Structure 1
Amino acid sequence: MSDLPQLGQWRDFDEVRAIQDKQLPAVFAWARRSPFYRDRLPDSERLADLPPTTKQDLRDAYPFGLLAVDRRELATYHESSGTAGAATASYYTEQDWVDLAERYARKYIPIGPDDMFFVRTPYALMITGHLAHRAARSHGATVVPGDNRSLAMPYSRVVRVLHDLGVTLTWSLPTETLIWAAAARLAGYRPDQDFPNLRAFYVGGEPLTAVRRKRISEIWGVPVVEEYGSTETGSLAGECPEGHLHFWADRAIPEVLDPASGRIGPDGAGQLVVTPLFREAMPLLRYNLEDNVELSYRDCACGWALPTIRVLGRSAFGYPVGSARVSQHDLEEVVFSLPVEFGVIFWRARAFPDRLHVEIEVAPAERPAACAALTQAIRERFGVEPQVDGVAPGTLVPHRLLSAPQDVLKPRSLFGPDEDWDKAILYG
């Protein structure tokens, strides 16, 4: 264990703020060494005197405009998923990685030497796979680097690995666990019975409603442990034994920006603004992640004395349908409130100004009851008349995706007369 702050070393929110206040001068000192902040920082060391650092600032500073150490001190370089079409660079020293790994490993179902840990998030340039890998190894676990952007790891192989290796913990998007369940059933396995070594799913990367979390647990028979963070910051929040997501306020200062007024406050609803406290290679002051959150300092029975956070993502965004506004978050709650016996895990919807069209994958025997139940639930929730269609399993998530074999060959140029030379350069 490092000399960084550890859970249990403070008693209340005031002591957490004291940790922040003690570390903040070092953060300002690091920031003054970076080209981006050098001429932007006032003489004071008060966050309240600074405007937010934006994602566009990071794009404009690509690749090393925020570098605050000699480049020879860097351990890794990363880029975010690039949804805006422009690169957002992040880099870390070896000491930065100590902080990153410790934060990720703060799980109420802990990682240990007996664990077989399956990492099913991208490695590539994003931090997510490397973060879980590093944290698991630092706690003695065996890592299975599954990735999810590789032809070498189709879902049929995921199921085989989960089963044959006796995987105990996994790290993935929540949606991945539902796809695994479908692939496992297609391969003849029962998710809640044929994977007895599984202890928990660690999930993150997308908003997760309580009902979908419950459905994943019902299907697999294990807890779902939520995590929140980003490539630019690493882990920012984790779930406590009481089921609340707590922000790691001893390692980063959270604030909330009201986009309408521009006001930044310590709590409330708005966009999350963070200042990492132990990030030397690339200090960030008041970095606006642009994620919609609700942050509060209410007490929690877990005793961690850390603020709680609800990550809404784009859940506040919706489409007008009649007199209602329908969001994915709200519609997901309705779909996953259907009885588990209906077996509905894959769905899609299209919002029109005058109607809502929903499709669900459901077996023929359950189709009439499932469609009727969902139609009624949508009427009650939104006050709109939906068109709900049941489609055959394999329609929305094709069975060939779930059962396809490994599709990777090493590059070669010489083939025999009966071999397919069109695969000469197909490799992962």
Structure 2
Amino acid sequence: MNDVRSSLPQLGEWKGPQELRRLQEKQLPQTVAWAARSPFYRRRLNAAALPTTPADLATLPLTTKQDLRDNYPYGMLAVPKERLATYHESSGTAGSPTPSYYTQEDWTDLAERFARKWIGISGEDVFLVRTPYALLLTGHLAHAAARLRGATVVPGDNRSLAMPYARVARVMHDLGVTLTWSVPTECLIWAAAATAAGHRPGADFPALRALFVGGEPLTAARRRRISKLWGVPVIEEYGSTETGSLAGECRHGRMHLWADRALFEVYDPKTGTVRADGEGQLVVTPLFREAMPLLRYNLEDNVSVSYGDCECGWDLPTVQVFGRSAFGHRVGAATITQHRLEELVFSLPDSYAVVFWRAKAEPALLRVEFEVDEEHRAHAQARLAASVRAEFGVDSEVVGLAPGTLVPHDALTAMPDVVKPRSLFGPDEDWGKALLYY
């Protein structure tokens, strides 16, 4: 294990931005030296004059997702293969693999960062991990952090035939799950599945302490709705498969960048300029990543970064994450983003019980559909149409649908058979399932 990794910075070890900056500057030369070992950065860096300060680092070009794809599988590797602990690929839809790999020492840093939850993780917790394990980092990250703190892990996975929503609701109820990790949408579906099973989400899960969420932009209105449904705090996490956890919430609801473990910049793609704060795309240089160092890696996530005091005392910058600009669609003269539209949907009165919705942006019209009981349908349609007009200035077709239309009841209650593949069947068995898992 590298000596640097045995003394990872811990929350509370610095006071103010100057001490934080000194922590970053102390580690940066080692980070760059690690990077210079990889084929990609060996070509990019001048070994005779490696950057040693943040100002020097700022002269390097940004590292892009395409760089990672172009150097698949091992062009970014900076350690011997035998030192690798895990290999991952991101969930991007570009068609080309985006590789990422970590040593066991890298995993110490990864797990510690994720475990920085203000509500705490301990040996008394039963932690349901409900994000994918296959190739992505996310499920393994929560699993490792929970085990680091001694919690019992329930490896629920996601998009798995072995863990339908009915089973999630049963496990949460019967095992006394105290903490969960998922995308925010999952929490809404669990509530519907629990209700379908005859449980009251806010009353019949007394062990539940908090819902950890990430992987999707989360508006304040949707957070409130989820929290009210379950009666517990919703605590947001931000990161990526390429970097691990980059930010987490303090007890005052502000998302703080882990600037003791990484350098952050804000890039304006329109002007090509980079700043320490403001709005733009987040650029990150992980400081304790040895297997696959990344220098000035552009996540392409739209964010707003600010510096200032917070009552939590962490002395870390704060970040708001808005997602990718590509997720916006034009309707007339307006750009419709999921973040802004979601805020309108979940700002409808709680009594309407609107949870599931979808929208389609057409050149001259925004179509919105959502599930709502008939008694509230007319008022909900009129109210949301007025909100869309006020927010975006566009025409809309807003349609309320009967509950169960967008998310069928069967999806919440089904328990499909998941079997091992086999070739020999009895006379009354369906051998059409030979070699299948379901």
Decide: shared fold, TM above 0.5. Answer: yes
Which position in structure 2 is the counterpart of 1:12? 16
Q: 3-state SS of the aligned residue for 1:39?
A: helix
Q: Residue type matched to 1:47 in 2? A: L
| Correspondence 1:288-303 to 2 at 5 A | 288-303=298-313
Q: Is residue 110 from structure 1 mapped to residue 120 from structure 2 by the alignment? A: yes
Q: Residue type matched to 2:165 in 1? A: Y
Which of 188, 207, 226 in structure 1 is aligned with 2:236?
Answer: 226
Q: 3-state SS of the aligned residue for 1:78?
A: strand
More deviation in 319-328 or 210-219?
319-328
Which of 231, 246, 250 in structure 1 is aligned with 2:260?
Answer: 250
Which of 361, 382, 406 in structure 1 is aligned with 2:371?
Answer: 361
Which position in structure 2 is the counterpart of 1:135? 145
Which position in structure 2 is the counterpart of 1:373? 383
- Give per-residue Cα distances to partners, 1:343-395, cap 9 Å, x unaligned: 10001112223322211101222222222222232233233342211111111
| Correspondence 1:17-416 to 2 at 5 A | 17-42=21-46, 43-45=49-51, 46-314=56-324, 317-416=327-426
Cα distance, 1:323 vs structure 2: 4.2
- Give per-residue Cα distances to partners, 1:115-166, cap 9 Å, x unaligned: 0000000001111000000000010000000000211000010100010000
CA distance in 1, matches of 2:330, 2:70: 35
CA distance in 1, matches of 2:9, 2:416: 44
The CA RMSD measured in Å over matched residues stands at: 1.5
**Unmatched runs of 5 consecutive residues or more in structure 2:** none
Q: Is residue 425 from structure 1 mapped to residue 429 from structure 2 by the alignment? A: no
Would you say the 8 A contact 2:300–2:324 is kept in 1?
A: no
CA distance in 1, matches of 2:104, 2:130: 24
**Unmatched runs of 5 consecutive residues or more in structure 1:** none
- Give per-residue Cα distances to partners, 1:190-225, cap 9 Å, x unaligned: 110111110000000010000000000011101000
* 1:315–1:244 Cα change, 3 Å: farther
- Give per-residue Cα distances to partners, 1:380-421, cap 9 Å, x unaligned: 323334221111111111111111103311111122222222
Identity of aligned residues (%): 68
Cα distance, 1:187 vs structure 2: 1.2
Would you say the 8 A contact 1:120–1:145 is kept in 2?
A: yes
More deviation in 379-388 or 158-167?
379-388
Would you say the 8 A contact 1:153–1:406 is kept in 2?
A: no
Q: Residue type matched to 2:385 in 1? A: T
Would you say the 8 A contact 2:33–2:50 is kept in 1?
A: no
TM-score, normalising length from structure 1? 0.97
Cα distance, 1:318 vs structure 2: 3.0
Would you say the 8 A contact 2:130–2:156 is kept in 1?
A: yes
Would you say the 8 A contact 1:169–1:199 is kept in 2?
A: yes
Cα distance, 1:2 vs structure 2: 5.1
Would you say the 8 A contact 1:2–1:98 is kept in 2?
A: no
Which position in structure 2 is the counterpart of 1:3? 7
Would you say the 8 A contact 1:319–1:351 is kept in 2?
A: yes
- Give per-residue Cα distances to partners, 1:216-252, cap 9 Å, x unaligned: 0011101000000001100000001111110000000
More deviation in 136-145 or 347-356?
347-356
Q: 3-state SS of the aligned residue for 1:241?
A: coil
Cα distance, 1:329 vs structure 2: 1.2
Would you say the 8 A contact 1:316–1:327 is kept in 2?
A: no
CA distance in 2, matches of 1:31, 1:376: 53
Q: 3-state SS of the aligned residue for 1:410?
A: coil
CA distance in 2, matches of 1:53, 1:220: 41
CA distance in 1, matches of 2:335, 2:80: 51
CA distance in 1, matches of 2:37, 2:388: 55
CA distance in 1, matches of 2:61, 2:217: 27
Q: 3-state SS of the aligned residue for 1:49?
A: coil
More deviation in 396-405 or 310-319?
310-319
Cα distance, 1:317 vs structure 2: 4.9
- Give per-residue Cα distances to partners, 1:78-129, cap 9 Å, x unaligned: 1111311111111111110000000000001111100000000000111100
CA distance in 1, matches of 2:376, 2:199: 21
CA distance in 1, matches of 2:325, 2:254: 18
CA distance in 1, matches of 2:333, 2:301: 27
CA distance in 1, matches of 2:418, 2:250: 40
CA distance in 2, matches of 1:341, 1:421: 50
